[in-house]
Amino acid sequence: MLTLRHISKSYGSRRALHDVSFDVARGRLTGFVGGNGAGKTTAMRIILGVLGADAGEVALDGRPVDGDALRSFGYMPEERGLYPKMEIAEQLTYLARLHGIDRGAATKRADALLDRLGLGERRRDKLDALSLGNQQRVQVAASLVHDPDVLVMDEPFSGLDPLAVDEVLAVISEHAARGIPVLFSSHQLDVVERLCDDLVIIAGGEIRAAGTREDLRERYSGSRWELDALADAGWVRTVPGVSVSELAGNLVTFTAGENAAQAVARGAVERGGLRTFRPVRPTLGEIFRDIVVDHTRNENEAA
Ligand SMILES: Nc1ncnc2c1ncn2[C@@H]1O[C@H](COP(=O)(O)OP(=O)(O)OP(=O)(O)O)[C@@H](O)[C@H]1O
């Protein structure tokens, strides 16, 4: 497991991270989400040792990460650092060689990754002859070409069409399944919701929530309910303590405390019965908005 403990970092007087701690488990995809300037890239650079922290520690399986361990990390940085005029297979082979892999194995590995990412036919093309989406796939290949023990990716899905998202995801998942920790940041909450097993939500340089996707949805399920009654559910609007958000015939979604919700359930039984009655789990987008908006509001109030 990759762990960050009590990481803080400031750029001059600007605090970018404050007491950041979270885990990235082996064999699972961990999504790292936060708004612009939340601190994701800073945290990832600190994991990779590209940037030093002011305080705190990054460890892999309990051992502080040092130069040796870092050589086996795969990193897809935010600023994409490949050579525009170099043929893509040659450049992947070169990167693998930099990690100490011999020429034969490096060529094999580069070709296999390009095939896997649908770029086999383009292996002799220069990077800048490819579409932006295909360049992005090459960036993904570059972070994987030395078969890393830890994978950290800054926005690996940005600029990819839905089909390409699925292809890249399949390749990343295969690596996670070999038991390596995978952390990736993304602004595309619908993509993260679909893809990741665990989530870390950051705002204003602080971790606001972390856990498995299902745990978070449960934790933030709040007081939203859905009732599918056997008769028109318009009467739910009149139940004290209930605020109806959507009503369509027998189906109603509403916000209410536990007691008022139970009163609605009883009311439905008295009026002919119900098909289903359940708490509504929020989407990641809703959780994110709640957490980040709350944070921004608190910051503004404190200012
Ligand atoms: N080199 C730097 N010098 C000064 N401030 C910086 C520097 N890099 C980042 N920051 C500041 O640190 C904070 C965190 O930035 P960071 O790039 O880590 O956020 P992010 O979550 O990756 O944002 P985005 O999603 O927009 O890429 C921001 O307030 C940013 O302006």
What is the 3-class SS of 42-58, one letter each residue?
Answer: HHHHHHCCCCCCCEEEE
Assigned domain for 290 exists: no
Nearest CA owner, ligand 1 atom 31 = 37
Burial 184-205 (b: 16+ CB within 10 A, else e): bbbebbebbbebbbbbbbbbbb
Q: What angle do CA 282, 175, 28 make, to 5 degrees?
A: 35
Q: How many Å lie between the centroid of ligand 1 and the Cα of residue 205?
A: 9
- Per-residue pLDDT at 299 exceeds 70: no
Assigned domain for 37 exists: yes
Pair 128, 40 in one domain = yes
**ipTM value of the model?**
0.96
Assigned domain for 289 exists: no
Pair 193, 229 in one domain = no
The response to whether residue 186 sits with its C-beta less than 6 Å from ligand 1 reads no
Q: What's the pLDDT tens digit per position in 125-182?
A: 999 999 988 999 999 999 999 999 999 999 998 888 888 888 899 999 998 999 999 9
Q: How many Å lie between the centroid of ligand 1 and the Cα of residue 213?
A: 26
Containing domain of residue 136, as a range?
2-214
Q: What is the pLDDT of residue 298?
A: 58
The response to whether residue 79 sits with its C-beta less than 6 Å from ligand 1 reads no
Which of 8, 9, 13, 41 for a ligand 1 pocket mutation test, highest count of atoms within 8 Å of Cβ?
41
Which of 167, 192, 214 is where one domain is finished? Answer: 214
The CA distance from 114 to 132, in Å, is: 16
Pair 27, 110 in one domain = yes
- Per-residue pLDDT at 296 exceeds 70: no
48-52, 80-84, 104-108, 112-116: least confidently modelled range: 80-84
- Per-residue pLDDT at 292 exceeds 80: no
Pair 254, 195 in one domain = no
Q: What is the pLDDT of residue 163?
A: 87
Q: What is the pLDDT of residue 71?
A: 86
The response to whether residue 77 sits with its C-beta less than 6 Å from ligand 1 reads no
CATH of the domain at 37: 3.40.50.300
Pair 251, 163 in one domain = no
Domain count, the chain: 2
